[in-house]
Amino acid sequence: MSFTPIRALVGIFAALLTPAFAHQATGIKLTEPTADSITVWTRITRDAQRVSDEGPLPSTKLFDRTSGQEIPFKDNATYANARAEITFPPGADMGSIRGAALGAGGQTRVRYRAAGQSVWASTPWRDVDPAQDFTATFALSGLVAATRYEVVVEARQRVEAAVLSTTNGGFITAPGEKTEAAARFTVMSCQEYGERDRPDGFAIYPAMLALGPDFFVNTGDAVYYDHGPVHAVNADLARYHWARMYGFPTLRDFHRQVGSFFMKDDHDTLTNDSHPDDRSGDLTFTAGLRIFREQTAPAEPPYRTQRWGRHLQVWFLEGRDFRSTAAEDRTQTPGILGAKQLAWLEATLAASDATFRVVITPTPIVGPDRDNKDDNYANKGYIIEGAKVRALLARFSNLTVVTGDRHWQYVSRDKTTGIEEWSVGAATDTHAGGWNEKTPRPEHRFLRTGHGGFFSGEVKPAAAGATLALRLHATDGTVVFESVKSSAR
């Protein structure tokens, strides 16, 4: 008869009692798809699911750094001279508050293959980075153009340990620039946690997924740091905003199946209408830029362009990093894109031979916008650079602008240049607003307020040429407006 040593039994029992912290409650993101590459974003969490929306909330207070007086919270506000104090209810912490999905240490890897193939390729295992919210990214390269790929992301606690969680997904690579290829993509903006329309997230995600998009674009305001009972006045709370949003099942299911391009705007960088050098509480604009990159794995530089076959090329503009500061605006012409990005935009538009050019911008270029706003090219404060940008875009044929940021859907045509702009609208009906549908302007081709939705584009090649169908959808996917552009060979 043999006996297991007492020390070994203690080790076995300790292992059995140790919780398995290697979950993926915030899912994966498949970002920056090209013809031969994609980035896979991963994150390990302590728990398998986000905390229920019935969970407790922390108490967040702000105090003026100079006077010590408490500052009341207000949505859309910036707290430039404030310090934050965060306290939790008894027994609660950052991992147990409402919607939380606390990160945890461990390792992840990505397995992938072209759909229908029998052999998997695999990345090496990689430790997630605690300094980057327990995330890791994997750049997959050498892929085949216009091909559907399957991916499996695995997570474990440590070297040689068992795999504790897997997330299955897939994506499609872009067709080569000479390929006669169809394409379908969706664009959305402005998803506010407190105004979601389903217990499991947002209705537009399954509606977009039902269209089978080749790729997806989020134009910004993916989270609202400056809204609700928990404002993101430090880095930990900013990351909490991302975890509680992307732990929703509708978002997790969508992002594991569609390649995405993430663009930032004001609310997911810092606060409403924020500029470089701003701060709110203990969160700075610079930290906001870093956290956005950490959570979305965008390409660098943040302005970029992607070809999708012979007929489609898409531009993604960056509207926060290079805009002039409030102090600079007092001594120079206010700017948003900056000289380097403007030069890049002009050069890449001129170099493109795509049938259709689609320029996607976080904030409007054409508008119109409300008179009390001063954050985009449709506002008076940026009228000089705005006119310059519209004149530049007007030089190129078959060009359409798609914008986020505004909480109503519209299609408008600039009276001077003829440039056409489509506003995708807010992510939910409850978050929509900002304009009166009964007071359209002459430049409006279409105007819809009080309802959320999204935009889609669909390219179809044909023997006689190609078409690009532009559509605005309701949150359930219903088409509310459509226009088709055509180009003969």
The pLDDT value given to residue 444: 97
Residue 387 has pLDDT above 90, yes or no: yes
Instruction: Report which of 214, 173, 230 is spatially closest to residue 56, judged by C-alpha positions.
Output: 230
Q: What is the pLDDT of residues 319-352, one digit of tens each?
A: 999 999 888 888 889 999 999 999 999 999 999 9
- Contact indicator for 218, 188 with CB cutoff of 8 Å: yes
pLDDT band per the 50, 70, 90 thresholds, residue 9: very low
CATH classification (class only), 175-220+298-488: alpha beta
The pLDDT value given to residue 7: 47
pLDDT band per the 50, 70, 90 thresholds, residue 413: very high
- The whole-number average pLDDT for the span 353-380 is 96
3-class secondary structure per residue, the chain: CCCCCHHHHHHHHHHHHCCCCCECCCCCEEECCCCCCEEEEEECECCCCCCCCCCCCCEEEEEECCCCCEECCCCCCCCCCEEEEEECCCCCCCCCCCCCCCECCCEEEEEEEECCCCCCEECCCEECEHHHCCEEEEEECCCCCCCEEEEEEEEECCCCCCEEEEEEEEEECCCCCCCCCCEEEEEECCCCHHHCCECCECCHHHHHHCCCCCEEEECCCCCCCCCCCCCCCCHHHHHHHHHHHHCCHHHHHHHCCCEEEECCCCCCCCCCCCCCCCEECCEEHHHHHHHHHHHHCCCCCCCEEEECCCCEEEEECCCCCCCCCHHHHCCCCCCCCCHHHHHHHHHHHHHCCCCEEEEEECCCCCCCCCCCCCCCCCCHHHHHHHHHHHHHHCCCCCEEEEECCCCCEEEEECCCCCCEEEECCCCCCCCCCCCCCCCCCCCEEEEECCCCEEEEEEEEEECCEEEEEEEEEECCCCEEEEEEEEEEC
The pLDDT value given to residue 465: 84
The pLDDT value given to residue 130: 98
- The whole-number average pLDDT for the span 123-152 is 98
pLDDT band per the 50, 70, 90 thresholds, residue 32: very high
pLDDT band per the 50, 70, 90 thresholds, residue 19: low
Residue 65 has pLDDT above 90, yes or no: yes
Q: Which one is predicted more confidently, 20 or 342?
A: 342
CA distances from 357 to 122, 269, 301, 350, 459 (A): 36, 28, 20, 11, 11
CA distances from 249 to 26, 203, 245, 261 (A): 9, 11, 10, 20
Percent of the chain with pLDDT over 70: 96
The pLDDT value given to residue 463: 85
Q: Which residue has the tokens 């934050």?
A: 84
CA distances from 431 to 67, 238, 265, 362, 439 (A): 36, 21, 16, 17, 20
- Contact indicator for 65, 258 with CB cutoff of 8 Å: no
Q: Which residue has the tokens 């905003």?
A: 241
The overall average pLDDT reported for the chain is: 94
Contacts of 146 (CB under 8 A, 6+ apart): 35, 172, 173, 174, 175, 176, 179, 181, 309
- The whole-number average pLDDT for the span 105-120 is 97
Instruction: Report which of 39, 15, 31, 464 is spatially closest to residue 215, judged by C-alpha positions.
Output: 31
Residue 489 has pLDDT above 70, yes or no: no
pLDDT band per the 50, 70, 90 thresholds, residue 2: very low
Q: What is the pLDDT of residues 74-95, one digit of tens each?
A: 999 999 999 999 999 999 999 9
Q: What is the pLDDT of residues 270-308, one digit of tens each?
A: 999 999 999 999 999 999 999 999 999 999 999 999 999
Instruction: Report which of 202, 269, 204 is spatially closest to residue 241, judged by C-alpha positions.
Output: 269
Residue 171 has pLDDT above 70, yes or no: yes
Q: What is the pLDDT of residues 203-251, one digit of tens each?
A: 999 999 999 999 999 999 999 999 999 999 999 999 999 999 999 999 9
CA distances from 323 to 82, 266, 319, 392 (A): 24, 12, 7, 18
Global pTM reads 0.95
The pLDDT value given to residue 326: 81
Contacts of 324 (CB under 8 A, 6+ apart): 275, 332, 334, 335
- The whole-number average pLDDT for the span 3-21 is 48
The pLDDT value given to residue 330: 83
- Contact indicator for 110, 171 with CB cutoff of 8 Å: no
Task: Please give the structure tokens belonging to residue 38.
Answer: 């994609």
